[in-house]
Structure 1
C-alpha cells in the first residue's frame, strides 16, 4: 500500500483519481488544490508518492518541486497539458519522475505510478553512488597528501607511508582518511 498525496486544482478530477488509487489498495494521505507550500504539506503528510495534475503548472510550481526534491525527495508524477519541451526538461530537473501530457485516466494511473517509483529509486541509487564516489576521491587525495608528508618528513617509500597510515588507523579504530586528515591538520595543510 502506497501513501499518496494529490495536488489538483480540479476537485472532481482529484476525487476520481483518489477513488482509482483507493480501489487499487493505496491510501491518499493528503489532497490539496494549491501547489503553494508543497514542501510543508509533503513534510507533514510524508507520502510515498506525490501526484500533481494541473492544466498549466507555472514556474512557482517548479521551484516548489525543487524544494521537495532537495529537502524531502519523493517520486513525483505530473499530469499536465503543457507540451513545451523546455518546461518538461525543467520539470524533470526539478525532480519530476514522470511527466505525462496526454491526460489522466484511471486505467493508466497505476502503471505510471509504478514506473515513476522505479525511476525515482534508480535516480536515488545513482545519486548515492555519485556522492560515495566523490567522498572516496576526496579521501584518496587526502591520503595521497598525507603519504607525501610522511615520505618527505620520515624518508619513507610510498608503500611504507601507506602502511604506517593504515597501521595507525587500525590501532585507533579509524579510517585511513581520518588519520590522513589529522596528519594534514597537524601540518597545517587541511585537505
Structure 2
C-alpha cells in the first residue's frame, strides 16, 4: 500500500495540475475552455456522421486528420513550454506583484496560478498527441472483418472526446497567448496612472 501511494504521489502531477486548473478557472473560462469545445466537437462529429457509413470510413477519416492534429498540437505545446520559460525568467514587472497577491482562498498566489494554466495546456496537448498516436496505431491494425461493420455508438463517443480535448487545448493556447502578451507588455507607469485616476474619482 505504501508503494502504491508513493507511486501515485510521484506520478500525480497531471491530476493535481488539472485540479488546480479547474479550481482557479472562472465560470466564463470553463465555459470557453470546456463547454464550448464539447459543443463544437459534438456538432462536428454529428455533421461528419452523415458521410461515414462504416468503421473503415471512420478510421480512414481519423487517420487523415490525426497526422495534422499531432503536428499542430505539438507546435502549441512547444509554444506553452517556451511561454513558461519566458515567465520564469522575468524577475521584474508583474512577477513580484503576482507573487504577492493571493488567490481568493489564500492557498496560492497569482503567479503560481498563471504557471498552472500554462502547465495544464502543455499536459493536455501532450495527452492529445499521445491519444492520437495510440488511436492511429490501433486503427491501423483493426481486422478486416471489423472494418465493414456499422460504426458503434461508443466509437462516436471516443471521437467526440478526442475532438473535444483537441479543441480544448487550442482554446487554452489562445487564452495563454493573451496572458503572455499582457505579461510581457506590462507597464507599471500605466497602472499607477490608472490607480491615481480611480482614486481621484
TM-score normalised by length of structure 2: 0.30
Could you say which structure has the higher helix fraction?
2
TM-score normalised by length of structure 1: 0.31
Work out which structure has the larger RCO, using CA pairs closer than 8 Å and 6 or more positions apart in sequence.
2
Could you say which structure has the higher strand fraction?
1
Larger radius of gyration: 1
